[in-house]
Amino acid sequence: MKLFAAVFCALLAVCVAEVSQRIVGGTTATYGEHPYICSLQVQSGGSWYHICGSVIWNNNNVVTAAHCLSGSASSLRVVCGLHRISNTDSYQVTRYLSSYTNHPSYNGNANGFPNDIAVMRLSSALSFNNYVNKITFATSGTFAGQSCKLSGWGRLVGGGATANTLQKVNMTALSHSACVSRWGSSYINSGHICFYEGSGTSACNGDSGGPVRCGSTLTGVTSWGQSTCGGTYPSVYTRVSYFNSWLVSQAGSQ
């Protein structure tokens, strides 16, 4: 089965590891509804392109999926307070990266892309408001059975165009055993959490690295799934609580 973790070389002169992610089956979010999400962008040929989502951890650090990052930090930036990719929104702010660190055990060549999480350090601190703000990261809990919310600018259909305006969709968190029963134990480990809401609803290319929250808590970072998007298998996310100690060691507390 082909997964949506391939390579993002089609539109860019640089290559960034891709995991299949725009939101399929979602609706348009309202401006400020998800103030913790930022667009991770790469510079190529003098222009900047959205490649992944990312999540505000604190004023100085933003978290994304490790597969979203490669090359020099100087070619990367985050745009927070953003609603429309191709427009300038009233409260959007841009921060360039001073550095980033992928989880030391991340393996983009292994089944299930284990430990797919990274911390980015900003060149200057973010100031928080109603449109740019941090979210509480989960430190425990399974969240199984809860309806949670995914947001991102990824593709609306597998193989289609990415969204210009931020999308959102509700998805149900699965138990670890339910996820293993669908994907198999060679793909799913304790650092994963799966969400599914039926065929036709999922993350897709461009949503990678972005947030899924249960209540007011960040539960997952979008990682991988079926390359067609919106299929019959659950989307897979990095389980934030599993990596709490490592995140704190890299970025400090919130």
Catalytic residues: 67, 116, 208
Nearest CA among 137, 111, 115, 138 for reference residue 190: 115
Q: Please identify which residue in the block is written with the tokens 């921060």.
A: 95
Q: How many CB atoms lie within 10 A of CB 93?
A: 17
Helix (H) or strand (E) holding 147: strand 147-152
Contact call for residues 57 and 63 (beta carbons, < 8 A): yes
Note the maximum CA span of the chain.
47
CA–CA dist 36, 80 (Å, integer): 8
**Do 237 and 194 form a contact (C-beta atoms < 8 A)?**
yes
